[in-house]
């Protein structure tokens, strides 16, 4: 039995406390958004340093909430990379937006269970509405089509492949074979492994000089597998590879899938949102022919983590894979019925993810998103133009859906491959140590290259140039410190 001495076993606050703490947090967030550009985006911290800073035993007694919040702001929040920073160029940044942050706060505050219709009719309706918006954007059938929000792109890819396998193979997938390119995102391989496929059931198809899946090699692999009595069932195409932003030839892949009766899954976690720009729509031609499509709003739809999305041509494919009750009794009218989203994916208890997407699109309008996405694509092209004019830089893969790869390579010095790899690796090391930008290398054609992903609508040409100048400084400095560096 509790006694009056038990401190606050109901876990409640007074109205004044709630307001004070809440306003303090809002003030902190506003300060963060306002001053983000002048902050250093990189956090450096070893395990040892973080242990020294943060480790503590589980507190039996509570302490003052304001002190806890201030400790979190002072010691915890500051020791993390800022992926929404305009100089965050590595991996896939997450530019985010303040309206969605507020919407996420509301969703948490009301603690809405977005798993089933009867618990949350309005949240479920809003998910149907926003999924329908996305179906329209990608020219998928709205009545027959469906989809759901997930935690991110990895979960959307896994959900898609589970639905594909169920639809094409039923319960026996012992002979099933799946195809994807050597540039496909690792989350697809992870999903394939989780699903229990052996590596003999996976074909990693090489890419051409532009990093697109080789259609010839793909067709040969399918034909060989058929001859061996195997069951090709799915092709995973990339709509914007993470490395280079390359879009696989979607029309051709769709033709192969039709001819061979395969499922076409398009992983557009990175690039699909580009359909909102004219150039992106051209690059993504044929995307509407996919059976399933991963889109990732916490990337290029400017949402804070976590929100991914899966769209499918036929909503019944999802209920067939994930519903524990017969799908024909539940969804006879497709997206016009009362959908239980827990029957369309892996999660039962689900956050109300649709709210932030809805609120931000309502607030800014789709036209703002179109302009924001176009900005990133144009910016990468502008930076490419600059790099091509410079005698110090070599463009390795041209600007593609806001991604550009290049390396420091002053032509007049005729430096050898190993030396170039060393210099480019050193550039990233020094930039990271300076904490001025989040920059990373990747490997293309066996070379170490620098990669820029420029999807943040608040990144300007001058931001990129400041970092490029810093890169040049570190490269020259490295060469001065290593005068004997081999040329070849
Ligand atoms: C093409 C692609 N697919 C899938 C993913 C995985 O998405 P998430 O990190 O949201 O799980 C990424 C992440 O960068 C990606 O670029």
**CATH architecture observed for domain 102-363:** 3-Layer(aba) Sandwich (3.40)
Q: What is the CATH number of domain 368-481?
A: 3.90.1150.170
Mutate to test the pocket of ligand 1, among 96, 185, 245 (most ligand atoms within 8 A of CB): 185
Query: Which atom, in ligand 1's list, is nearest to the CA of 298?
Result: 10
HSE at residue 219, side-chain half, CA atoms within 13 A, is 10
d(CA 418, CA 74): 43
Distance 270 CA to ligand 1 centre (A): 6
Quick one: which of 295, 237, 242 has its CA closest to 402? 242
Any ligand 1 atom below 6 A from CB of 331:
no
Full-model pTM: 0.96
Does ligand 1 have an atom closer than 6 angstroms to the CB of 93?
A: no
- The reply to whether 368-481 shares the fold of 102-363 is no
- Residue 450 pairs in a beta bridge with 406, 441
Q: Which atom of ligand 1 is nearest to the CA of 153?
A: 7
* Ligand 1 proximity of 243 Cβ (cutoff 6 Å): no
pLDDT of residue 333: 40
Q: How many CB atoms lie within 10 A of CB 179?
A: 25
* CA–CA gap between residue 116 and residue 128 (Å, rounded): 12
Ligand 1 centre to CA of 70 (Å) is: 33
Find the 244 Cα to ligand 1 centroid distance in Å.
14
The response to whether residue 409 sits with its C-beta less than 6 Å from ligand 1 reads no
Closest-lying ligand 1 atom to the alpha carbon of residue 305: 10
242 within ligand 1 shell (Cβ under 6 A):
yes
The atom of ligand 1 lying closest to the CA of 308 is: 10
Residue 3: predicted pLDDT: 54
269 lines ligand 1 (CB under 6 A): yes
**pLDDT at position 318:** 97
- The answer, yes or no, to whether any atom of ligand 1 lies below 6 A from the CB of 154, is yes
149 C-beta closer than 6 A to ligand 1: no
Distance 373 CA to ligand 1 centre (A): 18
Give the distance (Å) from ligand 1 centre to CA of residue 154.
6
Which atom of ligand 1 lies at the shortest distance from residue 268's CA?
A: 1
Is 393 close to ligand 1, i.e. is its CB under 6 Å away?
no
CA 78/CA 42 separation, integer angstroms: 10
Q: Using a 6 Å cutoff on CB, does residue 92 contact ligand 1? A: yes
Rounded to the nearest whole angstrom, what is the distance from the C-alpha of residue 53 to the centroid of ligand 1? Answer: 31
**CA-based R_g, the chain, Å:** 25
pLDDT, residue 332, reads: 39
Altogether, the residues listed in the chain come to a count of: 488
**Domain spans in the chain, listed from the N-terminal domain onward:** 15-41+43-78, 102-363, 368-481
Residue with CA nearest ligand 1 atom 5: 153
**Please, what are the averages of pLDDT over each run of 10 residues along the chain (488 residues)?**
66 97 98 97 97 97 96 98 98 98 98 94 97 98 97 98 98 97 98 97 97 98 98 98 98 98 98 98 98 98 98 96 66 63 95 98 98 98 98 97 98 92 98 98 97 98 98 96 76
Burial of 196 (0-12, 13-18, 19+ CB in 10 A): exposed
Phi-psi group of 123: left, alpha or beta (phi > 0 → left; psi -120 to 50 → alpha; rest → beta): alpha
């Amino acid at each position: 039995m509790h006694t009056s001495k038990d401190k606050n076993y109901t876990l409640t606050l007074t109205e004044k406390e709630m307001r004070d703490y809440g306003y303090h947090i809002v003030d902190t967030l506003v300060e963060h958004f306002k001053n983000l550009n002048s902050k250093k985006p990189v956090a450096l911290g070893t395990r040892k340093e973080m242990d020294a800073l943060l480790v503590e035993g589980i507190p039996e007694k509570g302490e003052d909430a304001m002190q806890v919040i201030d400790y979190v702001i002072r010691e915890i929040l500051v020791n993390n990379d800022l992926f929404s920073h305009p100089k965050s160029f590595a991996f896939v940044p997450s530019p985010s937006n303040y309206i969605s942050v507020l919407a996420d706060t509301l969703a948490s505050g009301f603690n809405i269970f977005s798993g089933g219709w009867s618990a949350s009719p309005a949240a479920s309706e809003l998910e149907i509405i926003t999924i329908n918006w996305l179906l329209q954007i990608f020219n998928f059938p709205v009545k027959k089509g469906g989809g759901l929000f997930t935690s991110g792109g990895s979960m959307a890819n896994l959900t898609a492949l589970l639905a594909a396998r169920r639809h094409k193979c039923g319960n026996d997938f012992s002979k099933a074979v799946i195809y994807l390119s050597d540039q496909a995102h690792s989350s697809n391989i992870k999903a394939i492994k989780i699903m229990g496929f052996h590596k003999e059931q996976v074909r990693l198809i090489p890419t051409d000089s532009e990093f697109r899946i080789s259609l010839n090699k793909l067709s040969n692999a399918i034909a060989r597998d058929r001859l061996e009595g195997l069951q090709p069932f799915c092709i995973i195409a990339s709509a914007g590879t993470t490395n280079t932003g390359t879009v696989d030839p979607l029309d051709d892949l769709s033709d192969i899938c039709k001819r061979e009766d395969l499922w076409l899954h398009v992983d557009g976690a990175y690039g699909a949102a580009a359909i909102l720009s004219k150039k992106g729509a051209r690059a993504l031609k044929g995307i509407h022919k996919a059976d399933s499509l991963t889109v990732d709003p916490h990337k290029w739809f400017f949402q804070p983590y976590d929100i991914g999305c899966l769209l499918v041509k036929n909503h019944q494919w999802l209920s067939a894979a994930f519903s524990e009750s017969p799908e024909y009794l539940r969804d006879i009218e497709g997206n016009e019925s009362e959908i239980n989203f827990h029957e369309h994916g892996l999660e039962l208890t689900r956050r109300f993810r649709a709210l932030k997407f809805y609120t931000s699109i309502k607030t800014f309008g789709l036209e703002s998103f179109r302009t924001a996405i176009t900005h990133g694509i144009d910016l990468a092209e502008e930076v490419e133009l600059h790099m091509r004019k410079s005698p110090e830089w070599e463009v390795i893969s041209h600007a593609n859906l806001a991604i550009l790869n290049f390396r420091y390579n002053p032509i007049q010095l005729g430096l050898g491959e190993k030396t170039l790899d060393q210099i480019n690796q050193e550039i990233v090391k020094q930039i990271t140590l300076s904490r001025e930008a989040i920059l990373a290398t990747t490997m293309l054609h066996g070379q170490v290259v620098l990669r820029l992903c420029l999807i943040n609508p608040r990144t300007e040409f001058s931001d990129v140039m400041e970092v490029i100048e810093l890169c040049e400084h570190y490269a020259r400095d490295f060469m001065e410190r290593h005068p004997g560096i081999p040329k070849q």
